[in-house]
Structure 1
Amino acid sequence: MIQENLLLIVSLLAAVSMLAMLSEKLKISYPILLVIAGLVIGIIPGIPIVSLHPDIVFLLFLPPILYAAAWNTSWRDFWAARRSISMLAFGLVFFTSTAVAVIAHLLIPDFPMALGFLLGGIISPPDAVAATSVLQGIKVPKRVVTILEGESLINDASSLIVFRFALAAVLTGRFTFMKATTDFFMVAGLGIAIGLAIANVLYAVHKFLPTTPSIDTALTVISPYLMYIAAEHYHFSGVMAVVSGGLFLSFRSHEIFSYNTRIQAYSVWESLIFILNGLVFILIGLQLPQIITGLEQYTWVELIFYSLIISIVTVIVRIVWVFSGSYLSCFLSNKERRMKWENDFLIAWSGMRGVVSLASALAVPLTLANGSAFPHRDLLLFVTFVVILFTLVFQGLSLSPIIRWLDIKEEENEEAEHEVVIRLRLAEAVLNHLQTNYADELNRIDAYTRIKDRYERMAEIANRRLMREEKEVVTPHFLPKYRRMLLELVTIRRNELYKLRNEKHYSDELLRTKEHELDLEEARLNEGRV
């Protein structure tokens, strides 16, 4: 049994890697391709049935994925867009849940309103991974990305709370609005408190104890699980604990991590998140054969009709909410900067569903408290799967053409000017330090003089760019060619290093050290910094 499961896991990991490479070739976001591939693999005769337990999804996949998203989110940008994010993460979740509840109650025979709210809580949150991975590589305004990332961090918590209350109403037949509202703020607030408390302890460990890069990296992997499990143990929001703790540690990371810790942790986390995301989305596709086994009472026409109507409702509700909320925010606050309608539409169209919706649907119990079968459970699972497939594939594939059609472009002017200002400030800081502490060496030693001259040139070029006096230094013909030349020099040195290795006169450790230096230099150049 263990060998079979291990073989299945290894096979899925290999499939994820192959499909990710294919998605790069086809220029398709890999979550879309993985869901479709999982669906195709699942209907192949003889393929073993993959059962995805919701507790495993929530515990194994959700904490690190949310933690990585929180870590890569700028707290300053997040706070600046807090009104827009809150309206989407809380207001839109409740609005979507209500709209889906009403439509499902009217559309599906013998489908009570409590089940409608349960379905709404399941499919209301856009996925934390789907939108950002679909937008990856596409140049869009930074504020749009900030809002989408911020929304996906928080809406999981609000939707799971709606899910809990709706499930309790179905199981017990009772629902009290005031108690639900009080419990909502308590569950979310105490989840945040637990996350921040654990984050402060981890901050002290990283800062004051004699850790190594490997220990620091291991602690960053353990941290989201500590926050999530601690909060869920006391029946508070594990999602809010992970998000709040991740944002806190990300904001203070420059105080606690050394350069080699950051390099090592970045590499580990990039690989970890790729594997987890890949497994999640291919497992979503593999669930369909198991889901359709209990749907004999419905015809395929009915199933597809119900699912498509509810999918379309979720898309329309989001569009209506985003545009009305955007105008309302500007009306309530004169300081709120109105975005272009094209950017609003991009936010509205980026509501792809994913792992949290599927895990919530699978978390619906098999039976009620009296032992009878949970009503419409298989239908809930099927509708959820179709909503994920519809939003991820239809909206995901159409996102790039829509961006080109609406001519949405990244707002680079302010960022470019800020980069020049930062470069100038850094160069001036270096020059001040050299002149204060190494005045004698600057007059006697050529090596010191060359360093001073280099930073003086950097400061001079930055000043001219800010004054718009030397535009030729930033022409599109100069920097790319210059960067290619530097990369060629790295290749020349790397080839020479290979020759030295073949001569067998030098230690492998020394050669690996020099190779690592070339790797870092090549990475810096490929990121566009010279």
Structure 2
Amino acid sequence: MSATLLDGVLLLAIVGAVSGLARRVGLLAPILLVMVGIIMSYLPFVPAFHLEPELVLGGILPLLLYAAAIQTSVPAFRRNLRPIGLLAFGHVLFITLVVGLAVHALVPGIPLAAAFALGAIVSPPDAVAATSIARRIGLPRKTVTILEGESLVNDATALVTLRVAVAATVGAALSWDAALRELAIAAIGGVLIGWVVGWLAAWLHRRTDDALIDNTVSILTPFLAFVPAERFGASGVVAVVVCGMYVGHRRPLLMGPASRLQMDAFWRVTQFLLEGFVFLLVGLQMRGIVDRLSYAWPMVLVVSAAVVGVVVVGRFVWVFPGVYLPRLLPRVRAREPQPSPANVAVVSWAGMRGVVSLAAAFSLPFTFPGRDLLVWVTFVVILVTLVGQGFTLPWFARWLRVSRDDPQADALAEAEVRQAAFRAAQRRLEEEAAKVGAPSYVVERLNALAENRANEAWERLGNPDREPPSEAFRRLRLAMLEAERQEFIDARDRGILPDEVRNRVELEQDLEEMMLSRRRRRDDE
């Protein structure tokens, strides 16, 4: 095993251990991983881990974006398209402009175009940090949708803006028309390529019932969207997001249950490991960035504080007018309910930056004006927003008394749809049973099974002080499964049952137990 591979395995082991510790002590894993990475960077026996921009932007980012995109609700994304667009495009360009002007004013030796490059680097909230923290602290579904939608698209705006700023800095000056044209090509090209690859992936999924093939297609899909888009000058980020949302929205009709279960498990593990890896990697850059810094510390601290202030305050300055000013128009006011100031403040505070910003900073040419300073300031912005804002976001939401989604409303909606689904299932059962002449007792058993499942949702709306029959059924059936499993293990150990048979039965038991356990966890939430 090579040293590089061994280092990677050790990092993943640290991710697992630190994430497990974070859950046990009630901390947010991304914040703890960054802090552990910073400490590790100063330990003498820990090798230097250099963040490779190509690995992050071309290897890790497509996987994380695709994993998030296939889980994104397309109807919810459409309903919140205006606020998402104001954040993913308007906010990024606004922060780019303000940060660039501030840095150029403080350090005149850095050209304005180079200062705008820093603004583009630190402008997009991270695609992982905001939504992972927002979901874990239970923010309202609409707020999470807006943050998730922003983080899926804003990287494209920032990276294309960075490309324009770098070109202007190194002498390839672009007119405003050319810059806007490049942005348009990146966006439209990314949408078209993402749609084509999404359609192709859906076509492949629809024509196979092999779970392994489905997962192989799923792993390759984000790269099949990202690489051609980048090669043709479009936005690979937009292509991956569009492709993922296209496939995710149609997934229930594209593949069988075995493929969906296996794919969900794969992407959960992938997200867990890659998210933890990138947060740990951010912290591990601390020592190397400090060692390469060649500017005087007083000036460095002033610039760092100014940029952090602009990034944090600038988000409030953009978000509040962006939310309330359009509601002066009667059409917008009639179509969208007015959000509470508490929810708007939480969206403003949830502006954590992450590894994409750091990878973008490292991608600057080594001869780029003020490169060491720009990389350092980027790291400080990430550290302050991720640790400071991420750590205080749960407290901030509680202090503002941000209202959560009403579980009773969710249960009522589920119960009504389950009842409609039960009636549809009854009609289909009658039709199919009449065609094949099914025995009456089979029809009655299937009808009772569907009715019991429909009634479970109504039970959750009933008396909370009494154990619902469905919960008693789950509790007793789980105990029965445990006894059945032990009997099969004993039979295997006595040599009267082959392991192949026991493995097949174990799969059936595991699927049933997983379904019962997931229902119980959902009811406890």
TM-score scaled to structure 2, two decimals? 0.92
Q: What are the ranges of 5 or more consecutive residues in structure 2 without an aligned counterpart?
A: none
Check conservation: 1:140, 1:408, Cα contact below 8 A.
yes
User: Among 414, 417, 421, which residue is 2:409 paired with?
Assistant: 414
Check conservation: 2:138, 2:404, Cα contact below 8 A.
yes
Question: Could you tell which deviates more after superposition, 115-124 or 173-182?
Answer: 173-182
Give per-residue Cα distances to partners, 1:97-128, cap 9 Å, x unaligned: 11111221223352332222111100000011
Displacement of 1:270: 1.4
User: Among 476, 483, 497, which residue is 2:488 paired with?
Assistant: 497
Structure 2: distance between partners of 1:204 and 1:451: 33
Letter in 1 for 2:223: Y
Give per-residue Cα distances to partners, 1:142-191, cap 9 Å, x unaligned: 11111011000100000111111111111116341121111111111112
Check conservation: 2:209, 2:255, Cα contact below 8 A.
no
- Partner residue, 1:177: 176
- Aligned pairs for 1:57-76 (under 5 A) are 57-76=56-75
Cα root mean square deviation, aligned: 2.3
Check conservation: 1:329, 1:336, Cα contact below 8 A.
no
- Partner residue, 2:511: 520
Check conservation: 1:130, 1:352, Cα contact below 8 A.
yes
Question: Could you tell which deviates more after superposition, 45-54 or 375-384?
Answer: 45-54
SS in 1 for 2:389: helix
Question: Could you tell which deviates more after superposition, 50-59 or 385-394?
Answer: 50-59
Displacement of 1:211: 5.4
Structure 1: distance between partners of 2:92 and 2:301: 24
- Aligned pairs for 1:441-520 (under 5 A) are 445-456=440-451, 465=458, 473=462, 475=464, 477-479=466-468, 482=472, 483-520=474-511
- Aligned pairs for 1:225-304 (under 5 A) are 225-299=223-297, 301-304=298-301
The 1:403/1:486 distance shift into structure 2, 3 A limit, reads farther
User: Among 387, 395, 399, which residue is 1:401 paired with?
Assistant: 395
SS in 2 for 1:365: coil
Question: Could you tell which deviates more after superposition, 220-229 or 263-272?
Answer: 263-272
The 1:476/1:430 distance shift into structure 2, 3 A limit, reads farther
- Partner residue, 2:422: 427
Q: What are the ranges of 5 or more consecutive residues in structure 1 without an aligned counterpart?
A: 368-373
Structure 1: distance between partners of 2:420 and 2:228: 43
- Partner residue, 1:195: 194
SS in 1 for 2:519: coil
Structure 1: distance between partners of 2:448 and 2:9: 55
User: Among 369, 374, 380, which residue is 1:380 paired with?
Assistant: 374
Structure 2: distance between partners of 1:440 and 1:71: 38
Give per-residue Cα distances to partners, 1:465-484, cap 9 Å, x unaligned: 5xxxx887352542495344
Displacement of 1:234: 1.2
Displacement of 1:199: 1.7
Check conservation: 2:354, 2:382, Cα contact below 8 A.
yes
Give per-residue Cα distances to partners, 1:378-430, cap 9 Å, x unaligned: 11111111111111111111111122222223222432222112210221122
Displacement of 1:441: 9.9
Structure 2: distance between partners of 1:407 and 1:485: 39
- Partner residue, 1:371: none
Question: Could you tell which deviates more after superposition, 168-177 or 277-286?
Answer: 168-177
- Partner residue, 1:14: 13
Structure 2: distance between partners of 1:166 and 1:77: 34
Check conservation: 2:130, 2:352, Cα contact below 8 A.
yes
SS in 2 for 1:62: helix
Letter in 2 for 1:338: Q
Check conservation: 1:330, 1:337, Cα contact below 8 A.
no
Check conservation: 1:29, 1:133, Cα contact below 8 A.
no
Check conservation: 2:95, 2:311, Cα contact below 8 A.
yes
Structure 2: distance between partners of 1:190 and 1:341: 37
Letter in 2 for 1:262: R
- Partner residue, 1:348: 348
SS in 1 for 2:403: coil
Letter in 1 for 2:355: V
SS in 1 for 2:462: helix
Structure 1: distance between partners of 2:279 and 2:266: 20
Letter in 2 for 1:230: P
Give per-residue Cα distances to partners, 1:218-262, cap 9 Å, x unaligned: 110001011111111112111111111111111121222111111
Structure 2: distance between partners of 1:331 and 1:500: 73
Question: Could you tell which deviates more after superposition, 137-146 or 154-163?
Answer: 137-146
Structure 2: distance between partners of 1:236 and 1:67: 17
- Partner residue, 2:303: 306
- Partner residue, 1:320: 317
TM-score scaled to structure 1, two decimals? 0.92
SS in 2 for 1:110: coil
Letter in 2 for 1:283: L
Structure 1: distance between partners of 2:429 and 2:172: 74
Letter in 2 for 1:293: D
Displacement of 1:442: 9.9
Structure 1: distance between partners of 2:61 and 2:252: 25
Give per-residue Cα distances to partners, 1:281-338, cap 9 Å, x unaligned: 1111111222122223322x43333223311221111112111111023223131221
Question: Could you tell which deviates more after superposition, 501-510 or 214-223?
Answer: 501-510
The 1:394/1:126 distance shift into structure 2, 3 A limit, reads same
Letter in 2 for 1:327: Y
Letter in 2 for 1:395: Q
Give per-residue Cα distances to partners, 1:344-372, cap 9 Å, x unaligned: 111111111112101100000012xxxxx
Letter in 1 for 2:131: T
How many matched pairs? 515
- Partner residue, 2:156: 157
Letter in 2 for 1:516: L
Check conservation: 1:83, 1:329, Cα contact below 8 A.
no
- Partner residue, 2:326: 329
**Percent sequence identity over aligned pairs:** 36
The 1:477/1:116 distance shift into structure 2, 3 A limit, reads farther
- Partner residue, 2:134: 135
